Amino acid sequence: MGRAPREPIGPQGKRSIGNTTRGHGTHGALHSNAYETEWERRGEERRGEGAGAAGGGGGMTSGPKSGVGGVAAARAAASGPRTVLITGVSRGLGRALALELARRGHAVVGCSRSAEPIRSLEAEIASPSRHFLTVADVRSDSSMAELAKAVVERKQIPDIIVNNAGTINRNNKTWNVPAEEFDTVVDTNIKGTANVLRHFVPLMLVKKHGMIINLSSGWGRSSAAEVAPYCASKWAIEGLTRSLAKELPPGLAAIALSPGVVNTDMLTSCFGSSAALYQSTEQWAPKAATMILSLSLEDNGASLTV
């Protein structure tokens, strides 16, 4: 349990629990090549229109379909109730994960920028009195400080942090992305994650245990045309997570987790109607919840994929 952070074991090193492959190193995680496949298809369409290729050589490797085996499921079920902080909780992956964890009896601390989606989630989530769902913006350091203070007062210091809040730029060539739009991606995906860590890791240090899960992406280990700000932000999350893993004391661990390819609003903004070909958030959430709950200190510093 007190294992110190370790160096990634290299591009080919990996281990698996059930059918979910856990890879170490920048390109270690086996994950779907759907990103490249879709972008290559779209690139062919654009070349036919004289617009140039949309995709390129990625470095993502294809592997078996995602899934969580019996060992991981048993470990997750045996872990007991946990308190899980989820940023960006009001929609997409965050909302689906919150509903799934609540259904399993875990307490959710969740934040989002908008009040109405929070109220909608409160009306749907199981055992609403157990959870703390509130309006807070990860882009604001002071907002995260206030959230951390509230969590301490409510005695709901998280056992697990899921840095899920994220955004993507509209499809555009790098030099045509407006400065404000680029800033929004960086402020949310990178600086937002850092703001959460700044105020919540110290709380975990006091407890002497905790799992920190920073949501990455297939495009945090590969790349594609027209989403350079997003790719850059997720590559940054991979590096940030590895550095953090080296800094944490025994009892804490940090993992970069790619959700795989899931039909969300963000995917639709890139793939259009083709996003509907991929798994829904409702299909994804049970697999993600089981994997997250089964993570151990031995996963510190790893780059994993649901």
pLDDT more than 90, % of the chain: 72
From the list 219, 230, 271, 278, the catalytic residue is 230
Is residue 193 in a domain?
yes
Residue with the bigger pLDDT between 4 and 50: it is 4
Q: Is 230 left (phi over 0), alpha (psi -120 to 50) or beta?
A: alpha
Q: Look at the alpha carbons of 116, 120, 125, 128 in this order and tell me if their dihedral is positive or negative.
A: positive
Is residue 157 in a domain?
yes
pLDDT of 64 > 80? The answer is no
Q: Of 73-77, 143-147, 196-200, which gets the smallest average pLDDT?
A: 73-77
pLDDT tens track for 34-55: 555 444 444 444 333 332 323 3
Task: Using alpha carbons only, give the angle 75, 91, 278 rounded to the nearest 5 degrees.
Answer: 70
Check: CB of residue 200 under 8 Å from CB of residue 148. Answer: yes
pLDDT at 270: 87
95-100 long-range contacts, CB within 8 A, separation 24+: 95/121, 95/281, 96/281, 96/282, 96/284, 96/285, 97/162, 97/164, 97/285, 97/288, 97/289, 97/292, 98/125, 98/131, 98/133, 99/124, 99/125, 99/126, 99/285, 100/285, 100/286, 100/288, 100/289
Check: CB of residue 86 under 8 Å from CB of residue 118. Answer: no
How many C-beta atoms surround the C-beta of residue 50 within 10 A? Answer: 6
Phi first, then psi, for residue 83 (nearest 5°) are -105, 125
Is residue 194 in a domain?
yes
pLDDT tens track for 237-292: 999 999 999 999 999 999 999 999 999 988 898 889 999 999 999 999 999 999 99
Is residue 12 in a domain?
no
Check: CB of residue 296 under 8 Å from CB of residue 19. Answer: no
Q: Which domain holds residue 100?
A: 17-305
259 vs 237: CA distance, rounded Å: 14
230 is catalytic: yes
- Read off the pTM: 0.79
Q: Structurally, how many domains does the chain consist of?
A: 1
Is residue 1 in a domain?
no
- The CATH number of whichever domain residue 146 belongs to comes to 3.40.50.720
The number of angstroms, rounded, from the C-alpha of 36 to the middle of its chain's C-alpha atoms is: 20
Is residue 156 in a domain?
yes
Is residue 4 in a domain?
no
Q: Of 17-31, 70-84, 201-215, 223-237, which gets the smallest average pLDDT?
A: 17-31
pLDDT tens track for 198-228: 999 999 999 999 999 999 999 999 999 999 9
pLDDT of 61 > 50? The answer is no
Q: Is 8 left (phi over 0), alpha (psi -120 to 50) or beta?
A: beta
Q: Which two tokens stand for residue 300?
A: 């510190």
pLDDT at 198: 98
234 vs 25: CA distance, rounded Å: 15
Work out the angle between the directed axes of helices 192-207 and 228-247 (0-180°, nearest 10): 20
